[in-house]
């Protein structure tokens, strides 16, 4: 009994902030020392490393649950189903709804409940809940949906990833330029025998929660005048995250293929969390090196981070939706293609899913 993705949708905010928009920013180090380098040089080095040229921010009146509902509605329409037929509604996020300038997260009621109401789903048989798993949250939600379907506990699930990271970042931290907002969603259904061998083939999940749990945290601003014990911002130890990802994600990807009995050369695409272009490329290259290949095949890794930035749980479903709709030049999916999803993030959590289109 396989779980099949029958619909995708996404919401990409229309507010664009380019790298040049940070030209007047005052950046500080973790030790709260002003960085005196020319800001244009800082931005140039940032773009060279991350590949990010611009990112999308939600309009002030739009929250994470709003974007989740819109992405979910698009996936429902794409699948051609009745929203009332959904058994599990899973919303992955990390901060709930953060009202602009409020500095407070809000997840009561859960975003799952808010999205269920926004979609007009009345039946109590549709169980809606939130999933917090760092950036791999949406992919973990996909794994949950697959497990429910395989266990016979659900026939149809809606899995959404949504985030407004622009509202939890320190404007005096260079890493603030990484993050963005957005939402992506998929409908996952019991295959019912009409899909052949298509569907989720298997998955791998890991949590590394000793020293690794401190790599991505919430801390005070780097700017001394803004230092306040009542306000926390998203912080990342970039070098440690990079090294951790490079040492764990390729192995998890390989383990996933082994679970699914899929050969590495059967892969047509790798949809990896859009965290950092240089890091993602290094992860995929290291993955192929595990099989004795020094370089990854050309075109194996779609990327939209240059235009959209890192929207955490929303990056993979947004990217998958774009490729599935042939909206990303140079990338298409065909029936029978085997693809690999992989993510890494706060926890530190790692996961991978193998899927046949």
17-55, pLDDT tens digit by residue?
A: 999 999 999 999 998 999 988 899 999 999 999 999 999
Name the burial class of residue 140, with classes exposed (0-12), middle (13-18) and buried (19+) by CB atoms within 10 angstroms of its CB. Answer: buried
Check which CATH number belongs to the domain holding 108 and give it: 3.40.47.10
> Same domain, yes or no, for 173 and 296?
no
Average pLDDT, the chain: 95
User: Range of 115's domain?
Assistant: 3-190
Of 156, 190, 224, which marks where a domain is finished?
190
Given a contact cutoff of 8 angstroms between Cβ atoms, the answer to whether 71 and 118 are in contact is no
> Same domain, yes or no, for 257 and 283?
yes
Of 190, 218, 241, which marks where a domain is finished?
190
Residue 327: per-residue pLDDT: 96
- Helix, strand, or coil (residue 201): strand
Number of domains in the chain: 2
Q: How many CB atoms lie within 10 A of CB 18?
A: 12
What pTM value is reported for the model? 0.95
Name the band, by pLDDT with cuts 50, 70 and 90, for residue 314. Answer: very high
Q: What is the largest distance, in Å, between two alpha-carbon atoms of the chain?
A: 63
> Same domain, yes or no, for 21 and 139?
yes
CA distance 167 to 216: 16
> Same domain, yes or no, for 273 and 136?
no
- How do residues 154-201 score in pLDDT, each as one tens digit? 999 999 999 999 999 999 999 999 999 999 999 999 987 655 689 999
Of 169, 190, 211, which marks where a domain is finished?
190
Name the band, by pLDDT with cuts 50, 70 and 90, for residue 2. Answer: confident
Given a contact cutoff of 8 angstroms between Cβ atoms, the answer to whether 326 and 302 are in contact is no
CA distance readout (Å), 19 to 10, 56, 222, 279, 312: 24, 11, 20, 19, 19
Name the band, by pLDDT with cuts 50, 70 and 90, for residue 227. Answer: low
> Same domain, yes or no, for 205 and 155?
no
- Helix, strand, or coil (residue 267): strand
Candidate from 94-103, 147-156, 276-285, 336-345 with smallest mean pLDDT: 94-103
> Same domain, yes or no, for 228 and 300?
yes
Given a contact cutoff of 8 angstroms between Cβ atoms, the answer to whether 158 and 112 are in contact is no
> Same domain, yes or no, for 173 and 42?
yes
Residue 226: per-residue pLDDT: 58
Q: Percent of the chain, pLDDT > 70?
A: 97
What phi and psi values does residue 183 have, to the nearest 5 degrees?
-150, 145
CA distance 219 to 233: 5
- How do residues 117-143 score in pLDDT, each as one tens digit? 999 999 999 999 999 999 999 999 999
> Same domain, yes or no, for 211 and 160?
no
Q: Please list, residue by residue across 119-139, b when 16 or more beta carbons sit within 10 angstroms of its beta carbon and e when fewer do.
A: bebeeeebbbebbebbbbbbb
Structure tokens at 10: 């996404």
Strand partners, 207: 349
> Same domain, yes or no, for 123 and 203?
no
> Same domain, yes or no, for 264 and 348?
yes
322 has pLDDT over 80: yes
> Same domain, yes or no, for 350 and 208?
yes
* Sequence-ordered alpha helix ranges (H) in the chain: 39-50, 64-79, 111-118, 137-150, 238-260, 277-289, 305-308, 315-324
Q: Percent of the chain, pLDDT > 90?
A: 92
Mean pLDDT of 200-220: 96
CA distance 316 to 338: 16
> Same domain, yes or no, for 186 and 259?
no
């Amino acid at each position: 009994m396989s779980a099949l993705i029958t619909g995708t949708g996404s919401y990409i905010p229309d507010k664009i902030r380019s790298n040049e928009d940070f030209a007047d920013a005052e950046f500080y180090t973790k030790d709260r020392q002003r960085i005196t380098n020319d800001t244009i040089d800082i931005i140039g080095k940032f773009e060279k490393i991350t590949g990010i040229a611009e990112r999308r921010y939600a309009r002030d009146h739009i929250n994470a649950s709003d974007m989740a509902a819109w992405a979910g509605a698009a996936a429902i329409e794409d699948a051609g189903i009745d929203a009332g037929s959904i058994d599990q509604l899973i919303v992955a996020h990390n901060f709930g709804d953060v009202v602009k300038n409020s500095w407070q997260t809000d997840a009561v009621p859960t975003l799952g409940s808010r999205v269920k109401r926004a979609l007009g789903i009345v039946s109590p048989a549709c169980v809606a809940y939130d999933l917090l798993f760092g950036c791999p949250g949406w992919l973990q939600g996909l794994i949950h949906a697959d497990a429910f379907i395989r266990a016979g506990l659900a026939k149809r699930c809606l899995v959404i990833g949504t985030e407004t990271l622009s509202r939890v970042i320190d404007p005096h931290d260079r890493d603030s330029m990484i993050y963005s907002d957005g939402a992506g969603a998929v409908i996952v259904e019991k295959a019912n025998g009409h899909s052949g061998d298509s569907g989720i083939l298997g998955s791998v999940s890991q949590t590394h929660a000793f020293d690794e749990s401190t790599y991505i945290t919430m801390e005070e601003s780097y700017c001394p005048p803004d230092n306040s014990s009542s306000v926390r911002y998203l912080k990342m130890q970039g070098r440690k995250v990079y090294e951790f990802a490079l040492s764990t994600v390729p192995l998890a990807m390989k383990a996933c293929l082994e679970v699914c009995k899929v050969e590495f050369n059967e892969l047509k695409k790798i949809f990896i969390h859009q965290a950092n272009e240089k890091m993602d490329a290094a992860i995929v290259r290291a993955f192929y090196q595990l099989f004795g290949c020094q370089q990854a095949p050309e075109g194996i890794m779609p990327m939209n981070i240059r235009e959209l930035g890192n929207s955490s749980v929303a990056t993979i479903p947004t990217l998958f939706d774009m490729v599935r709709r042939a909206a990303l030049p140079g990338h298409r999916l065909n029936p029978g293609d085997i693809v690999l999803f992989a993510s890494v993030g706060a926890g530190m959590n790692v996961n991978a899913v193998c899927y046949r289109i």
